[in-house]
Amino acid sequence: MMVIPDDDPDADAMQENLPARRNERLSSSALTHAEWDRETQTLTVTFVNGQSYSYGDVSEDEFDALVNSSSPGRYWNSYLKGR
């Protein structure tokens, strides 16, 4: 994850170059993919059974925590389920 300081004069230009969506394949027995939309701050997770669920107000840090977790399914169950 790239951190852009608020006082960086090039921060706006750098933000514009970031992808609008991030889509990651997950190593999990429960989840197959996670997609995060920068504009809407929406996370969509797809389960092994093909069902997808979307969650609003999910930060990029939360998305990174999910995809980098040793157990994405456990992370989803503990921090995102029911939001």
Cβ distance 36 to 1 under 8 Å?
no
On whether residue 1 sits in a domain, the answer given is no
3 pLDDT above the threshold of 70: no
Torsion angle (degrees, nearest 10) of CA 81, 2, 4, 66: 10
DSSP state, residue 50:
S
On whether residue 29 sits in a domain, the answer given is yes
Q: pLDDT: is 6 or 45 the higher one?
A: 45
On whether residue 8 sits in a domain, the answer given is no
On whether residue 45 sits in a domain, the answer given is yes
52 pLDDT above the threshold of 80: yes
Q: Which residue range forms the structural domain that includes residue 38?
A: 19-80
**pLDDT at 38 (0 to 100):** 96
When divided into structural domains, the chain yields a total of 1
Please give the mean pLDDT across all residues of the chain.
87
